[in-house]
Amino acid sequence: MMVRVRVPATTANFGPAFDVIGIALALYNEVEVEPAESTEVEIAGEGEEILAATPSNLVARAALEVARAAHRRTGFHIRCRNRIPLGRGLGSSAAAIAGGLVAANAALGNPLPAEAVLDLAWKMEGHADNVAAALVGGAVLVDASAGRITWTRIIPTWDAVIVVAVPEFSVATTEARTVLPARVPLSDAVSNIGRTAQLVVAMLTGQVELLRTALADTLHQPYRRALVPGMDNVFEAARDAGAYGAALSGSGPSIVAVAPGAQAHGVGEAMVDAFARAGKRAKHMVLPVDESGAVAARI
Ligand code: HSE
């Protein structure tokens, strides 16, 4: 059976909710998968010049994980159409993993339940916020602290849009995690707990004004500042242009803002200008929240 999966980009952390909140965005990669004797990969779009079109490709590795977990001896022919920019904090690796897993599972007749797919995705990615949102869509709250994942999903009810400024340079998540401290002051943890609670209330009730304080963070952004030239100035430019708040998208370098719809493009341009003042070219996108996650269709 040949299937096509559409899998969304994701923005993680959203300020204070480090490794806990991922939000799916309406920017999609497509993965086509068909079981075959050997594994072959074709890639078009973002990353086509640098991604390995071999079985070591992340989409292929995810597909082969499904075959292994389902005790099937098979390879896959895989075709990727990529639109999510690589290494920018928009969940390109989560999309590759979620896309490969869901497509291979569907192509084999869904031998793995959804929980097993999420578990594999989490183990491949190392943290669960992006992969969970890429799999189920919406804003997903994950807890992986007890060695297994529990999650819940929210569709933000606020009357606002998400604006993403995407610079041309990339940051590897592995590097952006090595700059983080193993221990943090209790006051920093307490501050993030309070802000994450405000963020969730803002999503559930639509009290978007809460984002004026809720998007600040003390657990990861201050340590990642050195990897993202202009970070604080981009946050400030977004707020000055009318955004409720702004935050690093995942581990960066993209920056995500929440703004009233009428101000969205002004906020995006202000963020792009602020990146330019730091010597970095960028573009902006206004992206609705994706509510579907990774969806498989037979072709
Ligand atoms: N929560 C992860 C991190 C997301 O901040 O490292 C990576 O995109």
Q: Three-class SS string for 189-205?
A: HHHHHHHHHHHHHHHHH
Q: How many residues does the chain have?
A: 299
Ligand 1 pocket mutation pick from 19, 84, 248 by most atoms within 8 angstroms of CB = 19
129 Cα: distance to centroid of ligand 1 (angstroms) = 7
Closest atom, ligand 1, to C-alpha of 248: 5
**For residue 41, how far is its CA from the centre of ligand 1 (angstroms)?**
27
Indicate if 22 and 42 belong to the same structural domain. yes
List ligand 1's pocket residues with C-beta within 6 A: 12-13, 18-19, 89, 127, 129-130, 173, 176-177, 220, 250-251
Considering the domain architecture, whether residues 10 and 120 belong to the same structural domain is answered as: yes
Minimal-distance CA residue to ligand 1 atom 8: 250
Which pLDDT value is given to residue 140?
A: 98
Instruction: Output phi, psi for 297, to 5 deg.
Output: -135, 140
Q: Tell me: do 141 and 175 sit in the same domain.
A: no
CATH number at residue 95: 3.30.230.10
Answer yes or no: do 23 and 141 share one domain.
Answer: yes
Question: Could you give the number of structural domains in the chain?
Answer: 2
227 phi/psi in degrees, rounded to 5: -85, -15
Q: Which domain holds residue 185?
A: 161-287
User: Are 48 and 85 spatial neighbours (Cβ–Cβ below 8 Å)?
Assistant: no
Using one digit for the tens of pLDDT, what is the confidence trace for 145-197?
Answer: 888 999 999 999 999 999 999 999 999 999 999 999 999 999 999 999 999 99
d(C-alpha 134, C-alpha 295), whole Å: 10
What pLDDT does 156 receive? 96
The alpha carbon of 68 and the centre of ligand 1 are apart by a number of angstroms equal to 27
Residues 280, 293, single domain; the answer is: no
Does the pTM exceed 0.95?
yes
Q: What is the reported pLDDT for 155?
A: 96
Pair (128, 174) in one structural domain? no
What's the confidence (pLDDT) of residue 261? 96
* For the CA of 220, the nearest atom of ligand 1: 5
**What residue owns the CA closest to ligand 1's atom 1?**
19
Query: Same domain, yes or no, for 275 and 294?
Result: no
Residue stretches of the chain with pLDDT short of 50: none
Same domain for 31 and 148, yes or no, is: yes
The pLDDT score that the predictor gives to residue 117 is: 98
What pLDDT score was predicted for residue 21? 98
